[in-house]
């Protein structure tokens, strides 16, 4: 199926690139068809006026030209034609800057900048789980799993994860415990041996400082990488909502085609957590901020807060946890 589509694209490319020649050839074939239908009358008339066998000789030569130069030539042209996407990467990029005034250094810069955005998140799934509540500090223990499916847009060059890092900002502590990271790694879905696992099994304890860790990794050509981070922190309830750190947020580093956020409450069923959430809806023009306030999630319940939304680089999904309640207080 893919080969058939590629051949059709090549035929289309040949047609538009050599349109005048193709049109001339079609007219030429139409002329040959007319001669073919009237060949008996023309043979009699021309042979009587010019000489026997002249028309048949001319018609046979014309037919050979149509077959050889037309059909065989067209097939050879189609097979030898390179589609734009089959050109070398540097040629594809530099053809964008086609002004006569663009110098080599500017084209090199363009190529380096475009390389940075030639991967995107086809899907990002964020699972936020409320695991525990500490009444002394009025904090909840929140576990998070972030899974990014990163697509390399190019089939002929690899993609290094440039400017990609895991970032976790601890909020409050309970008995000196700020939380931990249980998993941080990435692997190539096409080449299983191509993987970088920085944290797995051995818990990395957090402190009051922000955790930052770049992940050195290269996605192979025409492939997909699975990037995953799992961590747990304590989050203060009802803190000053004007302070960024008091919001539980996740920020994307590159274009995200589909983002899903799930909120789970694993506390006992009589525990209610009150929360707000906010994010930009990029599906609307101009984009709009979606905000919901004063929502509640009961123990042993789960909710899907975002389902299949586009996010742009540096967009973030935010949750503000404001209050813990008991059902009996309702």
Phi then psi for residue 137, to 5 deg, are -100, 0
* DSSP code of residue 118: S
Residues 6 or more apart whose Cβ sits within 8 Å of residue 236: 137, 138, 139, 171, 172, 246
| Region label for 225, one of left (φ > 0), alpha (ψ between -120 and 50) or beta (otherwise) | beta
| pLDDT tens string 33-50 | 887 777 777 777 776 777
Residues 6 or more apart whose Cβ sits within 8 Å of residue 160: 217, 218, 219
With contact defined as beta carbons under 8 Å apart, do 195 and 215 qualify?
A: no
Dist CA 154 CA 219 (whole Å): 10
Q: Mean pLDDT over residues 62-86, rounded? A: 73
pLDDT higher than 70, residue 3: no
Strand order in the sheet with 316-326: 248-251, 316-326, 271-281, 288-298
- Which uninterrupted H or E stretch holds 273? strand 271-281
Q: What is the mean pLDDT of the chain?
A: 86
Residue with tokens 């149509």: 66
| pLDDT tens string 275-327 | 999 999 998 888 899 999 999 999 899 999 999 999 999 999 999 999 999 87
Give pTM, 2 decimals: 0.78
Q: Which residue has the higher pLDDT, 182 or 110?
A: 182
Predicted confidence at residue 2, as pLDDT, reads 60
Q: Which residue has the higher pLDDT, 65 or 120?
A: 120
**How many residues can be counted in the chain?**
330
- Please choose, from the candidates 228, 302, 234, 235, the residue with its C-alpha nearest in 3D space to the C-alpha of residue 263: 302
Question: How many CA atoms are closer than 13 Å to the CA of 191, on its beta-carbon side?
Answer: 12
| pLDDT tens string 211-255 | 999 888 999 999 999 999 999 999 999 999 988 888 999 999 999
| pLDDT tens string 4-31 | 776 777 777 777 777 887 788 788 788 8
Q: Mean pLDDT over residues 86-111, rounded? A: 82
Beta bridge pairs of residue 326 = 271
- Is residue 94 very low, low, confident or very high in pLDDT (cuts 50, 70, 90)? confident
Predicted confidence at residue 190, as pLDDT, reads 86
- Please choose, from the candidates 156, 151, 19, 3, the residue with its C-alpha nearest in 3D space to the C-alpha of residue 84: 156
Predicted confidence at residue 236, as pLDDT, reads 93
How many other CB atoms are there within 10 angstroms of residue 203's CB atom? 12
Dist CA 263 CA 242 (whole Å): 22
Pairing type for strands 119-134 and 256-265 reads parallel
Dist CA 62 CA 66 (whole Å): 6
């Amino acid at each position: 199926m893919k080969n058939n589509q590629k051949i059709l694209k090549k035929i289309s490319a040949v047609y538009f690139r050599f349109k005048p020649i193709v049109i001339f050839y079609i007219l030429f074939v139409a002329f040959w068809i007319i001669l073919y239908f009237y060949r008996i009358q023309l043979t009699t008339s021309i042979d009587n006026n010019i000489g026997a066998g002249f028309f048949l000789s001319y018609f046979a030569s014309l037919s050979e030209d149509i077959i050889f130069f037309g059909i065989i030539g067209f097939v050879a042209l189609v097979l030898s034609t390179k589609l734009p996407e089959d050109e070398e990467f540097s040629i594809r990029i530099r053809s964008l800057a086609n002004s006569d005034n663009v110098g080599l250094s500017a084209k090199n810069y363009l190529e380096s900048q475009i390389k940075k955005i030639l991967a995107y998140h086809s899907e990002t799934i964020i699972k936020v789980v409320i695991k525990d509540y500490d009444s002394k500090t009025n904090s909840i223990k929140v576990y998070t799993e972030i899974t990014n499916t990163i697509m390399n847009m190019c089939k002929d060059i690899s993609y290094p994860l440039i400017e990609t890092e895991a970032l976790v900002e601890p909020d409050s502590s309970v008995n000196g415990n700020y939380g931990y990271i249980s998993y941080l790694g990435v692997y190539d879905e096409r080449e299983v041996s191509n993987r970088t696992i920085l944290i797995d099994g051995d818990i990395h304890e957090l402190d009051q400082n922000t955790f930052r860790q770049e992940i050195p990794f290269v996605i192979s050509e025409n492939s997909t990488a699975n990037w995953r981070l799992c961590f747990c922190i304590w989050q203060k309830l009802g803190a000053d909502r004007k302070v960024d750190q008091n919001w539980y947020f996740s920020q994307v580093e590159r274009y995200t085609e589909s983002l899903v956020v799930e909120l789970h409450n694993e506390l006992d069923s009589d525990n209610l957590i009150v929360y707000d959430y906010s994010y930009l809806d990029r599906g609307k023009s101009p984009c709009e901020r979606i905000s919901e306030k004063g929502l509640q999630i009961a123990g042993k319940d789960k909710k899907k807060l975002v389902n299949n939304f586009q996010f742009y680089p540096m967009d973030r999904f935010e949750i503000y946890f404001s209050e813990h309640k008991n059902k009996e207080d309702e």
